[in-house]
Amino acid sequence: MSRIVIKTDAEIAKMREAGACAAFVLDTVKKNVAAGVSTWDLDQLAKKTMAAVGATSSSYGYGDARNPFRGHICISLNDEVVHGVGRKDVFIKEGDIVSLDVALNYGGFVGDNTVTVAVGTIDVRSQKLLKITEEALYKGIDQAIEGNCVGDISWAIQSFAEKNRLGVVRDLVGHGVGREMHEAPQIPNIGSPHCGPKLKAGMTIAIEPMLTLGLPDLRTLEDGWTIVTKDGSRSAHFEHTILITKHSPEILTILKK
Ligand code: MG
């Protein structure tokens, strides 16, 4: 991976715009998650909303030219951890959990954010999974300040998840984000305090815990993209794009008032 990019004030201003845009698209799609809706319809809604605000999907066409990603966002249900692709024959059901990962380019910069949504009433263990995964994201964000290290973020997430007896996915990680969707450094969800690259003001990173009700081991489905838990247990995923400052972290993927 390339070296860590420290953004200028002008670049940070653009990252704020891209972040707000990604938050808006995510919020729009989230409001339309309901039993009976196909994942294809959600993907088309994301496509239309991005076009309406002048953004483009960072996910569409991503990857190997022989099998590029064919979704505008990632839509992952239940035991799917990440990289699910919207399909006309997959309909959301009451009791499902649905992860929506929106990464888009706006004005030359990327905003990247994810939520996992409950469809109607979900079982108690899934409720806990969503609650703890979202809280783990904020535990990580709290550590995202100048002078700390990447490992401080990782350890905050890992220790909180393990205390709550959830699996922590280690094969997928957060990342620097800027002109590119994936920049240095990697932000693992497993790690040790005071280890890894130092955080500096002007760095922009995506923090994204992925936790599981069972073991965190993964496999990829035949489509070459959708990643599921090996044991079939449910998984949740929450993500924000963050600006490191000298003081408190700034969440960039936040809705503009
Ligand atoms: Mg990401």
CATH number at residue 202: 3.90.230.10
* Residue 33 domain flag: yes
Is 1 inside any structural domain?
no
pTM for the predicted model, two decimal places: 0.98
Going from the Cα of 185 to the center of ligand 1, the distance in angstroms, rounded, reads 12
pLDDT of 2 > 80? The answer is: no
pLDDT, tens only, 107-153: 999 999 999 999 999 999 999 999 999 999 999 999 999 999 999 99
- Residue 3: inside a domain: no
Per DSSP, the three-state class of 13 is: helix
Ligand 1 midpoint to CA 99 (Å)? 12
How many whole angstroms from 231 Cα to the centroid of ligand 1? 24
Interatomic CA distance for residues 181 and 52, integer angstroms? 21
**What pLDDT is stored for residue 256 in this prediction?**
86
Cβ neighbours, 10 Å, residue 40:
17
Can you tell me which residue has the tokens 């059901």?
A: 93
In a domain, 4, yes or no: no
Q: Does a structural domain hold residue 42?
A: yes
Interval between CA 206 and ligand 1 midpoint (Å)? 6
* Separation of alpha carbons 198 and 38, rounded Å: 43
Quote the ligand 1 centre to 196 CA distance (angstroms): 19
How many folded domains does the chain comprise? 1
Range of the domain at 224: 9-251
- Positions of E strands within 43-159: 56-57, 74-77, 80-82, 97-106, 109-118
For the cut 60, the answer to whether the pLDDT of residue 61 exceeds it is yes
